[in-house]
A and B are shown apart, each in its own frame.
Chain A
Amino acid sequence: MTSDSPQSPPTRSISDLLFLPETERSLINWLLRQHSATFLEIVAHLSQTPEATQRLVDDLIADGFVRAIEKKGELCYQPRLITRVGRQVPSKIWDALED
Chain B
Amino acid sequence: MSQIISVHSFRGGTGKSNLTANIAVAVASQGKRVAIVDTDIQSPGIHIIFGLDEETFSHSLNDYLWDKCSIEKAAYDVTSELKTGDGSAANLAGTVYLVPSSLKAGEIAKILREGFDVGLLNDGFQELTEKLDLDYLFIDTHPGLNEETLLSIAISDAMVIILRPDRQDFLGTAVTLEVAQKLDVPEILLLVNKTPPVFDRATVMSQVSHRYGVPVGGLFYENEAMLELASSGVFWLHHPDHPFSQEVHAVAKQIIG
Contact = CB atoms under 8 A, between A and B. Distances in A.
Interface residues of B, number: 27
A32 B184 CA distance: 12
Given A14-B154, A15-B150, A97-B106, A83 B117 contact: yes
Interface string B178-191: 01001110000000
Interface string B86-120: 00000000000000000001101110111111110
B209 interface: no
A35 B122 contact: yes
Interface in B207-242: none
A29 B118 CA distance: 14
A85 B109 CA distance: 13
Interface stretch (A41-49, A53-61, A86-94): A86-94
A74 interface: no
Interface in B106-163: 106, 108-110, 112-119, 122-123, 126, 146-148, 150-151, 154-155
A81 B146 CA distance: 13
Contacts, number: 72
Contacts of A35: 122-123, 126
A82 B117 CA distance: 5
Nearest to A94: B113
A43 to B, nearest CB: 19
Contacts of A98: 106, 109-110, 113
A77 to B, nearest CB: 14
Given A84-B117, A97-B109, 7 more contacts: A13-B147, A18-B182, A84-B147, A86-B114, A94-B113, A97-B108, A98-B106
